[in-house]
Chains A and B, each alone.
Chain A
Amino acid sequence: MTILVLAEHDNAHLKADTAKVVAAASAIGGDIHVLVAGHQCVEAAKAAQSLAGVTKVLVADAAVFANHLAENLGKLIISLSADYSHILSAASSVGKDTLPRVAALLDVAQISEVIAVASADTFIRPIYAGNALATVQSLDDKKVMTVRSTAFDAVAATGSAELVSVDNALDARTEFVSQTLTESARPELGNAGIIVSGGRGMGSGENFAILEQLADKLGAAVGASRAAVDAGFVPNDLQVGQTGKIVAPDLYIAVGISGAIQHLAGMKDSKVIVAINKDPEAPIFQVADYGLEADLFDAIPALNNLL
């Protein structure tokens, strides 16, 4: 049994998600190979070599992979697939875009957002916005799956895998036009130890400044509910929830967020949840470890003063 893990990286840096997907691969058991497909991605490949449990790092370095487009990555993975029993990636935007293409071309079903490995063919995944967990046994000869990285602890960087170049000639149909990434000095939402999230109760984008202050004092990332994103307070890549980011930090502070099913789906596996809301009936209090019924415009500045 050999497992292929698609690395998550921005060409220069390997993302922490990859080490978590390798942890899921280790739970399945078998030889683990990591595929680093990108352009001028030597540094990312080197980082992948050091992941504990990885025996081989395959590098496909070509301009056609620079932006991790599904069609090109899909073709590459298919060309390598004969050697593998399992193909894994993070349930990131790249993984979710690419792996279903791979699965369909291999004529196997994909298992999405795996949170636990029961055996080499049986996996647990959330359905209905996390309100139920399905234990699914795959009947296919190859298992293709995306892994919810918050459910696994990253493997250590103590390995020394072999580096192998793979053939990568491809014609691309899809043209990359442009990309705008949100600049932030704060930790990445998916890997932050503490997250401070604001909802509709924040009232405006300007008011997010007090949350940002709190985030900076705690070394935290800033998140948001869909209401805050739809109202234009913050960009949508900050959205936490069923259709945004799924997070599980040590501490999640929900400020002015009522706690709709779709939001809870993205954060209810956090270790400690704090809710600050002026409505004592808000559903968020049902999942909060510590609840404070207060006006956030009094509570957050007071909190900032105390930290």
Chain B
Amino acid sequence: MKILVPVKRVVDANVKVRVKADNSNVDTANLKMALNPFCEIAVEEAVRLKEAGIATEVVVVSIGAKVVQEQLRTAMALGADRAIHVETDEDLVPLSIAKLLNAVQQKEQAQIVLFGKQSIDGDNNQTGQMLAALADLPQATFASEVKVEGESITVTREIDGGLQTLKMPLPAVVTVDLRLNEPRYASLPNIMKAKRKPLETLAVADLGVTLKAHQTVLKVTPPAERQAGIMVSSVEELVEKLRNEAKVI
């Protein structure tokens, strides 16, 4: 079976971003970019399913400017077989991304579409669910365990208060949570090999999808700064401050 893994290029998780002085957006110029950590987990799971003999092909897809090809190469170095790049310079909302991915899925007919649960830049947590809706597929979000048996998939999900297990027929959409696996590192020989793996570039027009504007970002501002705190020298002083100054205990 084929697994399709949509991946995203984002600012590295350890970089603290700053808002531009004109409040138009965050300043991402010259920042270190990386594969979104949740997408890494999705790629890892797809590759493990291939290693277990369940999947036959892992296809990664990314939507964005030409630079996203770096992250597609990274995903192929981690074990994906081929990549699709849908090229656009526009900043798209998750719904538009989901529409483009739906067109890719119509072509590819993957049995499992494996997403990260959210990207760490927009923090939207929408795209997987939206693709499932557009493609009319069942969905299992926030997966911490995935088992494929014949024509169905059993997924344990992280929900508020605990864990939930669902079973659904394939094809299905699964979005992955942090606990699903520990992604591997790309080895140098695999990075070299990834350069020769096929990478197909498509234009938005090739996919026959009409996109529309859904929202305008009016401004982006920094969050309110917290007032500087104080260091206390003892547990007694801490309790005294919490009781009499902050009045929270």
Q: With an 8 A cutoff between CB atoms, is A279 at the interface?
A: no
Question: Cβ of A290 and Cβ of B242 under 8 Å apart?
Answer: yes
Question: Cβ of B167 and Cβ of A135 under 8 Å apart?
Answer: no
Taking CB atoms and an 8 Å cut-off, the chain A residues in 86-118 that contact chain B are 92-94, 96-105, 107-113
Number of interface residues, chain A, beta carbon within 8 A: 87
Question: Cβ of A292 and Cβ of B11 under 8 Å apart?
Answer: no
Question: Cβ of B164 and Cβ of A67 under 8 Å apart?
Answer: yes
Nearest residue (CB) in A for B132 is A101
Nearest residue (CB) in B for A177 is B165
Question: Cβ of B249 and Cβ of A251 under 8 Å apart?
Answer: yes
Question: Cβ of A138 and Cβ of B235 under 8 Å apart?
Answer: no
Which 6 residue pairs spanning A and B have beta carbons closest together?
A109-B214, A100-B129, A181-B162, A104-B130, A104-B133, A100-B126
Question: Cβ of A261 and Cβ of B242 under 8 Å apart?
Answer: no
Seed contacts A109-B215, A268-B226; 18 additional CB < 8 Å A-B pairs: A74-B133, A97-B141, A107-B95, A108-B214, A110-B130, A112-B125, A129-B120, A138-B215, A139-B216, A174-B166, A179-B159, A181-B161, A181-B162, A237-B160, A243-B178, A272-B242, A274-B242, A292-B233
The stretch of B12-20, B44-52, B199-207 in contact with A is B12-20
Question: Cβ of B26 and Cβ of A128 under 8 Å apart?
Answer: yes
Contact residues in B for A271 (Cβ distance below 8 Å): 248
Question: Cβ of B26 and Cβ of A132 under 8 Å apart?
Answer: yes
Contact residues in A for B157 (Cβ distance below 8 Å): 93
Main SS of chain A's interface residues? mixed
- With A67-B164, A126-B123, A287-B226 known as contacts, the answer to whether A140 contacts B214 (CB < 8 A) is yes
- With A137-B215, A139-B213, A303-B235 known as contacts, the answer to whether A131 contacts B229 (CB < 8 A) is no
Q: A134 to B117: give the CA distance in the assembly, Å.
A: 21
The stretch of B54-62, B80-88, B183-191, B217-225 in contact with A is B217-225
Q: With an 8 A cutoff between CB atoms, is B32 at the interface?
A: no
Chain A residues engaging chain B, CB cutoff 8 angstroms: 67, 69-71, 74, 92-94, 96-105, 107-113, 122, 126-140, 173-182, 188, 190, 194, 218, 226, 229-230, 235-237, 242-243, 245, 250-251, 261-262, 268, 271-274, 285, 287-294, 299, 302-303, 306-307
Nearest-Cβ distance from residue A181 to partner chain B, whole angstroms: 4
Question: Cβ of A292 and Cβ of B166 under 8 Å apart?
Answer: no
